[in-house]
Structure 1
Amino acid sequence: MKQYSFSFSPEILENFKKIIPVNRSKKILKSYLLNEYELPESLNELQRATSSTVVQPYWMTAAEINKIDHLIKQAQVKGYTVNRSSILQNLMKELIEKYRNNPIQKSEQFRARFKVPTGTKKRLSLLIEDGELTYELSTFIMDGYVPSNEFPSMRNQDQEDFNFQTDIEVFEKMDEIASEYGFKKGGRAKIFRDALFQLETSLQSNSPKKAALKQELQYILDEYKSIEDVSVIKEEISKYLK
C-alpha cells in the first residue's frame, strides 16, 4: 500500500467526509472502485477544472491505482484527457449520491487523551491542517497501519497531551492490535503513538499542506506572470528567499 495525493473540489470532499463515516470511508471507496465503478457515459465533466481545489492523500493498493490508470486509458481511447484526481472525484460524487438519501448509520464517537513526545503536535501542524489530522489518522489506523514492532517507552521523555476523538471503531481497532501483541496495560497508547509516528513520517514526504501551498503558489505565479515580466517576478521572489 502506498500513499497518493489527489486534488478535489472542497465541496465534494467535504460532502464525502460528512456522508460516509470515517471508519468505513476507505473500505467503501475501495470496494466501489474495484467492483462497481465505471466511467460515466459523458466524459466532459471529468475534464472540467474547478476554480478551487484541495489536496487529499489516500492510501491505496496497487490494484486500486491500476484500476484508476486503466480507466484513464479507456478515456484516452475515447479522445479524453483525464487524470487520477478527476476519476476519483467522479467516483466520490457517485458515492455521495448513492448514500445521500440512504445514509449509513453514524458511529458512536469516543474521545481519549494520549501522551506523545513534546513537539509532536507542532511538527504535525506544519504538515497537515488541524481539521484534517483526525480524519487522516483514523483512516490510516483502519486501513493502512501496520505495526512497526517498535514501541518505545514514554518514561523519561518530555510529554504533551494529544486529544483524539473519532469513531469508536477506530479505538476498537487499536485495542484489537494491542491484544494481538499481548499488551496488557497501555497497549492502546502504544499503538496510537506508533500509528501517529508512521503517519507523520509519511506526511513528511507527501504533505497535503505543502501540496496545497504549492498549488496556490502556482496559481498566484500564473496570475502574476500575466501582468509582470518574469525577470521582475524572480527578483521579487528572491527577496523572500534570502
Structure 2
Amino acid sequence: MKQYSFSFKPDALEDFKTILPVNKSKKMLKNHLLNEYELPESLDELQQTVSNPAIQPYWMSESEINKMDRLIKQAKIKGYTINRSSIMRDIMKNLIEKHRDNPIQKSDQYRQRFKVPAGTKKRLSLLIDDGELTYELSSFIMDGYIPSNDFPSMRNQEQEDLNFKSDIEVFEKLDEVSSEYGFKKGGRAKIFRDALVQFENLLQTNPPKKAALKQELKYILDEYKNVENMSAIQEEISKYLKE
C-alpha cells in the first residue's frame, strides 16, 4: 500500500467522518471504488475544481489506484479532464448521500493512555495535524498495519504519555494481534507502539501537512495569477526565498 493525498470540500470531508465510523469508513471507500463505482453520466461536476480544499491522505492499494486511473482514461475519451481527487470526492459524496438518512450505528468509544518514546508526539505534530491523528492512526491500525515482529522494551527509555481515543473495534484489533503473539500483560501497548512506529514511517514518505501546504500554495498562486503578471509573482517569490 502507498499513501496518497486527495483534496476534498471541507464540509463534505467533515460529513464523511461524522456519518461513517472510523473503523469502517476506509473499507467502505475501498469496496465502493472497486466493486460499485462507475463514472456518472454527467462528468461536469467531477471536472470542477475545489477552492481552498481540505487535504486528506489515504493508504491505497495498487488495485484501487489502477481503477481510478482507468476511470480517468475513460473520462478523457469523453473529452473531460478529471483526476484521482475528483473520483474520491464523488465516491465520498455517494456514501454520504447513502448513509445520511440511514446512518450506520456508531461504535462505542474507548480511551487509553499509552507510554511511547519521548519525542514521539513532537515528531508526529510536524507530520500531521493533531485533529487528524486519531482518525488516520485508527484507519491504519484497522486496514494497513502488519506486525513487524520487533517489539522493543520501553525499559530504560525516556517516555511520554500519548492519549488515544477511538472506536472500540480498533482496540479489539490491537488485542487480537497481541493474542496472536501470545502477549499477556502489556500486549496491547506493545502492538500499539509497533503500529505507531510504522504509521510514523509512512507519514515520513508523504507528510499530510506538507501535502496540505503544497495544495494551499497552489491555490494561492492560482488566485495571485488572476491579479498579477507572472514576472512580478516570480520576483516576489524569489525575494521571499532569499529572506
- Give TM class, smaller chain: over 0.9
**Equivalent residue letter for 1:125:** S
Taking structure 1 as the reference length, the TM-score comes to 0.95
Instruction: Tell me the CA shift for residue 8 of structure 1.
Output: 1.0
CA distance in 2, matches of 1:6, 1:210: 13
CA distance in 1, matches of 2:237, 2:157: 45
| Unmatched 5+ stretches in structure 2 | none
Q: Secondary structure at the match of 2:24?
A: helix
Considering only aligned residues, what root-mean-square deviation do their CA atoms show, in Å? 1.4
Instruction: Tell me the CA shift for residue 221 of structure 1.
Output: 3.6
Contact persistence 2:108–2:168 (CA under 8 A): yes
Find the counterpart in structure 1 of residue 181 from structure 2: 181
Q: Does 1:227 align with 2:233?
A: no
Q: After superposition, what is the alpha-carbon deviation per residue over 1:119-164, rounded to whole angstroms, capped at 9, x for unaligned?
A: 1001111111100000000000000001111111110000000000
Find the counterpart in structure 2 of residue 48 from structure 1: 48
Pairwise mapping of residues 10-89 of structure 1 onto structure 2 (< 5 A)? 10-89=10-89
| Unmatched 5+ stretches in structure 1 | none
CA distance in 2, matches of 1:219, 1:57: 18
Match among 228, 237, 240 for residue 237 of structure 1: 240
Find the counterpart in structure 2 of residue 131 from structure 1: 131
CA distance in 1, matches of 2:228, 2:58: 37
Find the counterpart in structure 1 of residue 145 from structure 2: 145
Number of residues paired by the alignment?
A: 240
**Equivalent residue letter for 1:42:** S
Instruction: Tell me the CA shift for residue 2 of structure 1.
Output: 1.7
Q: After superposition, what is the alpha-carbon deviation per residue over 1:13-36, rounded to whole angstroms, capped at 9, x for unaligned?
A: 111111110000111111111111
CA distance in 2, matches of 1:234, 1:17: 36
Instruction: Tell me the CA shift for residue 77 of structure 1.
Output: 1.2
Instruction: Tell me the CA shift for residue 227 of structure 1.
Output: 2.9
Instruction: Tell me the CA shift for residue 223 of structure 1.
Output: 4.1
Find the counterpart in structure 1 of residue 217 from structure 2: 217
Instruction: Tell me the CA shift for residue 208 of structure 1.
Output: 1.0
Q: Secondary structure at the match of 1:58?
A: strand
Instruction: Tell me the CA shift for residue 100 of structure 1.
Output: 0.5
Q: Secondary structure at the match of 2:139?
A: helix
CA distance in 1, matches of 2:31, 2:220: 38
Instruction: Tell me the CA shift for residue 74 of structure 1.
Output: 1.1
Q: Does 1:170 align with 2:170?
A: yes
Q: Does 1:193 align with 2:193?
A: yes
Change (3 A) 1:50 1:223: closer
Q: Secondary structure at the match of 2:127?
A: coil
Change (3 A) 1:75 1:149: same
Q: Secondary structure at the match of 1:126?
A: helix
CA distance in 1, matches of 2:223, 2:71: 33
Q: Which moved more, 1:24-33 or 1:96-105?
A: 24-33
Instruction: Tell me the CA shift for residue 224 of structure 1.
Output: 4.3
Q: Secondary structure at the match of 1:115?
A: strand
Q: Secondary structure at the match of 2:165?
A: strand
Q: Secondary structure at the match of 1:110?
A: strand
**Equivalent residue letter for 2:33:** L
Q: Which moved more, 1:30-39 or 1:123-132?
A: 30-39
CA distance in 2, matches of 1:235, 1:82: 32
Find the counterpart in structure 1 of residue 155 from structure 2: 155
